[in-house]
Structure formats: structure tokens, C-alpha cells
Amino acid sequence: MIFEKINRILNNSAANCFATIILLGVSVLSCLFCSPATAKLLLDLDNPNLGKMPIMVADFHSSQPGSPNGADMASIVRNDLALSGLFEIIPAPQPLPMSQNGDPDINAISRTGAQALIMGSFEVNGNQLTIEAKLYDIALQKLDLGKRYTGAITDYRYMIHMFDDRVMEKITNIAGCFTTKIAFIDDSRTREIYTMDYDGANLRQLTNTRTINLFPSWVPDGNGLIFTSYINRNPDLWYVTSDGQRVVPVSQRKGLNASGRFSPDGSMIAISLSVKSIPKIFIINTQGNIIKQLTNGLGNDISPTWSPDGANIAYVSDQAGTPQIYTVPVNGGEPKRVTLSTSYNTDPDWSPRGDQLAFTAKVDGRFQICVIKRDGSDFRVLTNKGSNEDPSWSPDGRMIAYTSNLDGTKRISVMDAKGTVQAKVSGIPGRSPAWSPRLK
């Protein structure tokens, strides 16, 4: 039934188009789309009846054996699609059955239950790599998406992720965000900030302050992060460029300058300051000047997160005796309590679609990642193994990064927004993940 809907879109869109994307280094110079889809189908993440779409991903083919290899490329595709939670990966027969005209044998493949097929080929020329990748609609027996990417061999993962972003756009109308990164802190005594691809590849140390760094959070344009650091022996708010070259202070008031989060338009920062003794939520500008104090009362107020429209902020307060999540309008108004069902609710992160909050709740004595609608309805627990905290949404709203201690050490994991697929991604121990915005 689902695929019937997908077919409808595919029928409506211009088929068999072939776009070429030239990749030089890591910067995309041009992006020529096929004609935009004319029908809207958003796979509704809240639809409990949504099944997974069976998809087959064949190993990429090349006449030149060596590195990179086609099996590796296909495994990147399989991993991306599986982690989205929307696909069931069907094993591809080796070799893939082909028809006489050189196209895949659609009839043979349809017998495996696969409703879509991804296959690709690549060529190496010096240190340049060209990848050609295709998405076939098995039911309609047609090529649905074809892309060609050229770039440095070392960027092959990025090129594959770019294709997968387009596959998601083709099938769901919302581009994937497999080209994004996750920032986090390691577990060394001086917790340094690292970045990695969302799937854990390309790990890179961003800071070397040799002091405690906490709570990294991206600037909306992706060009840097703000974080709390003890560089000057006090928890101050600092900014670091995404190349790690520049580290500058933003707010250095007496007491806490903690958990800074940029407004979606990049003009303001919500932050917890204890400059007036009790930690409260303030709005400051990018120069660090206070614009307004947002919360009052006797509770510790911490962990602000902006609604995607910038109109509201969710935060944690223990004014009722235990930490609970509240929302408050940025332009004035009374705070409203969101969480009611458990005694310890922290770390809210507002979903990019705006309809729900992910947060950490204490469930049966352990921390778990949960989601709740912004009005407090539809509370759901997404994790149930080990202890899990620090949720951070992917920019497409389909995945959540979080800290999990499932293997005995805290590491960064990602899951789809329903929690059906959960995978450890950071090779090194770490916590406090921050999913980047879409990066240019």
C-alpha cells in the first residue's frame, strides 16, 4: 500500500532523468536536479502503520579492482538507508541478475520482495573518482534516479552520502541528511570536542584547550560551535570555528554560563546564567550582551532549546522539586510544564518539525531517550537497554543522536525517530552529541 503511494509520485515525476553533480574537493559547485516531484508524499513518522520499504543495494561495480571498493560503497548506502528507519535491506544476489540489454533483471529482483534497487559503478582516474549511482523502481520497472559524482578519492564516503540524500528526497520528498556531522566531547580528563560524520567516519579533534569542555552546540550556519569551557577556570561560553582554528569567549559572567543554544536565525543565544545567584534562562546576543531574562522563580533553570520557528524555548527547571521540562514564549508569557509522568526529565531538544521534544527521562531507575508532543501528550520511551541520554535531532527530523552506555562505556549512538534501529557510531568513547545543521 505504501509503495502504491510512492509509485504515484514516481509516475508524476519526470522519469529517467540523469543529473550530474561535479564535486571538486569537498565543495559542491553545481547541483542540477531532475524535475522536482510534483506530488507530495511525506512518509509520516508518526503513522504507527508505516511499514519499512524493502530495498536491495547491490555492490558497486568497477572494472578496476582496488581501493575504494564497491562492496564498501554499497555498505555505506545500506547503512544510511537502514539507519533512517524507513527501509528494510534485502540481500543482493551475487552477481546481480542482469537482462540482455545491460539493465538489471527487474523480474528476477522483484521475486526477492525488493521494491527498489540501488546499484552503481565507479571509475578511478589518478586521484579522481567518478561514481555513478542509480535508483530503480522495481514495480514500475524503470530507472527513477541517476546521479554522477566526481571528486577526490578520499571523499568517496561524502559522494555516496550525497546520493543517499537524494534517494531519500526521491522517495519521501524530504532530502536525507547523511552528509551532516555530529560534534561531541570525548571522555578524557580534559574533555575535548570532536566532530565526525553522522555515521562515525572521519573523526576529527576540534579543540585542544586541555581543560574541561562541555555541551557543544552548532551555530545554525554550520561554521562553528558554541560550548561551555573552563579555559578561564569558570564555566564560560566559548565559540570555536568549525576548522578549530579560532576559540573566542562569548559570555564570561560570574557563575554559570552554561548550555548555550543559538536561535534558529543565528541572531541570539539562549543560555543558563547564574549571574543573579540562581541559574536562570537568559537571551544574549552574539556579542554576549544580555537581551532579556526569560525565566524567574526559585528553580534551577538549564538546558534551553529553541522551537524551529524561534518563538518558544523549552528548558529544564526543578522549581517543582524534581527536574521537569517547561516551555516559555520568547516574547513573554508564562512557562508551561510539559512533562508530568516521570520524576526526572532533562536535556530537551526540540524536533526540527516543531511538533515534539526529545529528552532524557529516568525510567525504572535508568535514563532513557523519550519523546513527547509539545503539549505534553503522546509520551513515548524510545530506548530500553543500558542508560541513554543527551538526545540531539538530525536536521531532517528523522534521526536522533544520543549517548549510550550499552557496551559499558559511554559512546555516541544514533537511531531513527521511532527507535526501531539503534546503532553505536562513535569509535571512541564520548558523550553530549550535537547533530550539525545541513552543511554547505
Partner 1 sequence: MDIRRLIIYVVALVVMTAFTSGCARKIVKQNEGPVPGFGLAGPGAIAEGELQGVQTTLRTVYFDFDNYTLSPEAQAAIDYDAEILKRYPNLNVVAEGNCDERGTAEYNLALGERRAGSVVARLTALGIPSNRLSTVSFGSELPVDPNHNEEAWAKNRRVYLRVAK
* Residue 313 in contact with partner 1, rule: CB under 8 A: no
Distance CA 378, CA 355 (A): 11
Cell of 120: 552503481
User: Within a 10 A sphere around the Cβ of 389, how many other Cβ atoms?
Assistant: 23
Site for partner 1 in 139-168 (CB under 8 A): none
Query: Where does this chain touch partner 1 (CB under 8 A) — which range of 43-51, 121-129, 195-203, 254-262?
Result: 254-262
Strand order in the sheet with 430-435: 204-205, 193-197, 181-186, 430-435
* Summary count for the chain: helices (H), strands (E): 4, 31
- CA 3/CA 383 separation, integer angstroms: 29
Q: According to the binding rule CB under 8 A, does residue 211 interact with partner 1?
A: yes
Instruction: State the minimum distance, in angstroms, from the CB of residue 367 to partner 1.
Output: 7
- 184 binding partner 1? (CB under 8 A): no
DSSP assignment string, 358-395: EEEEEETTEEEEEEEETTS-S-EE---SS-EEEEEE-T
What is the nearest approach in angstroms of partner 1 to the Cβ of residue 256? 5
Do residues 431 and 401 touch, judged by C-beta distance below 8 A?
A: no
Does residue 278 interact with partner 1 by CB under 8 A? yes
Q: Does 201 help bind partner 1 (rule: CB under 8 A)?
A: no
Using N-to-C axis directions, what is the helix angle for 156-172 and 70-83, rounded to 10°?
A: 40
Instruction: Write down the residue that cell numbers 543522536 correspond to.
Output: 401
The sign of the torsion formed by the CA atoms of 40, 45, 47, 48 equals: positive
Among 410, 367, 372, 407, which Cα is nearest to 389's? 367
40 or 233, CB closer to partner 1?
Answer: 233
Q: Which stretch binds partner 1 (CB under 8 A): 45-53, 131-139, 226-234, 326-334?
A: 226-234
Q: Does 342 bind partner 1 (CB under 8 A)?
A: no
Query: Between residue 357 and residue 376, which ones bind partner 1 under the rule CB under 8 A?
Result: 360, 367
The nearer residue to partner 1, 350 or 367, going by C-beta atoms, is 367
Least distance (Å) between residue 313 CB and partner 1: 14
Grid cell digits, residue 57: 543495494
Stretch that binds partner 1, among 15-23, 54-62, 73-81, 314-322 (CB under 8 A): 314-322
Q: Which three cell numbers stand for residue 417?
A: 525517530
Count interface residues toward partner 1 (CB under 8 A): 41
- Please state, as a whole number, how many other Cβ atoms lie within 10 Å of the Cβ of residue 436: 23
Nearest residue to 219 (alpha-carbon basis) of 175, 261, 168: 261
- From the CB of 303, what's the least distance to partner 1, in Å? 5
Contacting residue, 176, 235, 395, 433, with partner 1 by CB under 8 A: 235
Q: How far apart are CA 206 and CA 192, in angstroms?
A: 7
Q: Is 289 helix (H, G, I), strand (E, B) or coil?
A: coil
| Minimum separation from the CB atom of position 14 to partner 1 (A) | 48
The interface region with partner 1, picked from 68-76, 90-98, 270-278, 332-340 by CB under 8 A, is 270-278
Q: Give the residue, chosen from 112, 130, 173, 234, that forms a contact with partner 1 under the rule CB under 8 A.
A: 234
Q: Is 84 in the site for partner 1 (CB under 8 A)?
A: no
Residues 17-46, interacting with partner 1 (CB under 8 A):
none
293 binds partner 1 (CB under 8 A): no
Helix (H, G, I), strand (E, B) or coil at 236: strand
Near partner 1 by CB under 8 A: residue from 212, 275, 290, 428? 212
Binding footprint of partner 1 on the chain (CB under 8 A): 190-191, 210-212, 214-215, 228, 230-235, 254-256, 258-259, 272, 274, 277-279, 300-303, 316, 318, 322-323, 344, 346-347, 360, 367, 389-390, 431-432
